[in-house]
Amino acid sequence: MTQFVASIIWCLGIATWLAIRWPHRRRARKTKIVAHRRSAGERVALGLTILGLVVVPLTWILTDLVEFADYPFSPIQGWIGAALMIAFLVMFHLSHAHLARNWSVTLELRANHELVDTGVYGRIRHPMYTSFWLWGLAQLFLIPNAFAGATGLASIAWLYFSRVGEEEEMMRAHFGEAYEAYCGRTGRLLPKFTANE
């Protein structure tokens, strides 16, 4: 694999991400919101995520503004990045498919919101975050630039750690003991294999 092919894989990953997300975003706009915890901090975290996962890498591909942080590309790193990109897209698709009408880009509860505990949600509470971590890792491998490659993981870390606690608190408030039981049998990002996570 060449650096050019790795860049094409990254671009195709972004296009596929948009294709997966688009119909769910359109449908979500048509479903009534009954509760939310949107905040300025969340909007900043979402904006930083787009900056780190899309804007900065695209800037690296299209310009020489961050070439100071380039390092030699290795074909094995490209293959690892491609595998991670595929894993991201599969998990991202499954997360949306299993959430269906319960999905929202921000911290919101929709009308007739259900606690989804089947499919990928049967073992992982936040598979969409898992998919984003995979995306950040894919970017790290596909883009041989210490700055542009790492901004994805940095922005995902910001989003995840600033938001996951608030999201779980909102779910506990809405679903009560059912959500507590769900937390007891699932892991946040990876399947839970032990009694204590």
Write out the chain's pLDDT in tens, 197 residues: 999 999 999 999 999 999 999 887 777 666 666 666 677 888 898 999 999 999 999 999 999 999 999 999 999 999 999 999 999 999 999 998 888 777 776 777 766 788 889 899 999 999 999 999 999 999 999 999 999 999 999 999 999 999 999 889 988 988 899 999 999 999 999 998 765 44
Which structure tokens are listed for 153?
Answer: 């993981």
Whether the model pTM is above 0.75: yes
Q: At 86, which amino acid appears?
A: I
Q: The tokens 């898992």 sit on which residue?
A: 130
Q: How many angstroms separate the CA atoms of 150 and 99, rounded? A: 29
Antiparallel, parallel or unpaired: β 108-110 and 33-36? antiparallel
Q: Which fold has domain 3-21+49-103+115-185?
A: Four Helix Bundle (Hemerythrin (Met), subunit A) (1.20.120)
Beta bridge pairs of residue 70 = 145
